[in-house]
A and B are shown apart, each in its own frame.
Chain A
Amino acid sequence: MIIATNVTKKFSKLTALDDVSVTCTKGQTISLIGPNGSGKTTFIKCLLGMVVPDSGFITFNKQNIAHNWQYRSAIGYMPQIGRYPENMTIAQVLDMMKDIRKRSAGALDEELIHSFRLDGMMHKRMGTLSGGTRQKVSASLAFLFNPDVLILDEPTAGLDPLSTEILKEKIMKEKQQGKLAMITSHILSDLDDIVTEVIYMEEGKLRFHKSLGQLQEDTGEKKLSRAIAQVMSAGN
């Protein structure tokens, strides 16, 4: 579904992405793991067209994403830090997104809004919300339009354990519907039971892309966090 071929991106002297090639297909839940500054967010931003690669190309459903914008209607994106116009209320932000993406009300997936209990604070202004509540709004927006692909950048950062659990269940549910989900996270134990594939990046390079089973077999560890820890220490 998403194929990245030899994607390279340099920010002046720093090479953020170095010849990264990845193939993602439907139904996978991919965990994008790597130390800070390994290029995870840059890679995600390349997928969304927010960062333009220096060389290489990315195709989405066999269409090159350069100079294309319609493909983004099939993507739900939850940014690492979601900031919104401070004067707008939650309801206005949601309405704005619905307005911009022009979906009929029937096709909307408002489950997260209800389970995060955002209904009760619809009139609150974005500027007054706590970081965690803002994350909830971001998550609700990512799932709202029933997209085929979910791209979640550090989704559990700032969420309380209960909300993390709600989000995890939601991702599992979407996974069963055959959607592609790509998640970056530092908190490995949160992801253990939903991930099917692991992409490990380091210093802008793709170290490996394996299924979870394969990784467990190679490292002899059952838990994802331990397996990754072993890979990381082996690299040093």
Chain B
Amino acid sequence: MKKIIKYVLLDLLRNRIIIAFTLFLAVISFSVFNLEDNPSKGILSLLNLVLIIVPLVSIVFSTIYVYNAAEFIELLVSQPLRRVNIWLSIFTGLAASMCVAFLVGCGVPVLIYAPTDVGLMMTAMGLLLTIVFVAIALLASVLTRDKAKGIGVAILLWFYFTLIFDGIVLFLLFQFMDYPMEKPMVVFSCLNPVDLARILILLKLDISALMGATSAIFSDFFGSKWGMMATVLIMIAWALLPLWWSVRKFNRKDL
């Protein structure tokens, strides 16, 4: 398994898109920090980059990579190798190289200009989101045979997690305005890894007061040590469940 990971990584790290993505992140991060004199303002500007662009690139690039590697996967499957190992190696390779790209492009500037709790939290959440969306991309690409459809599904999933889900939550909030919605909101946000990351970062930013009454419950739950641990575990589950499902599908897939 180590060997397959090695070769997937070798292939990926020379990929132009990964290099371009790293440069893109680095340019934006450095310019944001140089434009603002207050580093925590810079963090706030980077927040959207981490919560929206990073998942988008992770999911779309991974899906396209898996489709383009179809023949290579076929070649590996015809060799004396376990299918589970092949699939997990591709996942590890993709997740590792996307994480390196994020770490170099965004993590390093953040840790240079704002080496605070918030900065650390944002880097950690960016890495977790990258892994989660690579896992979701693998699931999307194993479920659909057609490349165009697979990429469409990947983009739709990203749309759902970054925009549609929030819309649904807002809608529910307005519909049930007369009821206490604080506790259900905690459960709702667990259904979306992007929301979880956003809440954890915002709570560290001390602007959570802006969120009103819900925020009290949020900081009670997510701010405590146990709450944070639980949230990180839920994020990891968000990566592991799609991955496990995709492994099961890949094991029985006709190539």
Taking Cβ atoms with an 8 Å cutoff, the residues of A that contact B are: 11, 45, 48-52, 69-73, 75, 77, 79, 81-85, 87-88, 92, 96-97, 99-101
Contacts and interface: CB of A to CB of B under 8 A. Distances in A.
A100 B79 contact: yes
Contacts of B3: 96, 99-100
Interface of B: 3-4, 7, 10-11, 14-15, 69-72, 74-83, 252, 254-255
A84 B71 CA distance: 7
Nearest to B84: A69
A108 to B, nearest CB: 15
A84 B70 CA distance: 9
B11 to A, nearest CB: 4
Given A81-B71, A82-B75, A100-B4, A69 B81 contact: yes
A144 to B, nearest CB: 11
The 9 closest A-B pairs by CB, nearest first: A83-B71, A73-B80, A72-B80, A85-B11, A51-B254, A50-B255, A77-B78, A87-B14, A48-B78
Contacts of A11: 254
A99 B5 CA distance: 12
B77 A50 contact: yes
A70 B80 contact: yes
Contact of A52 (B70, B78, B254): B254
Contact of B252 (A52, A70, A82, A83): A52
Contacts of A69: 80-83
Contacts of A97: 79
Contacts of B11: 85, 87-88
Given A69-B80, A100-B3, A84 B75 contact: yes
Contacts of B80: 69-73, 101
A5 B194 CA distance: 51
Contacts of B77: 48-50
A96 B248 CA distance: 26
B254 A85 contact: no
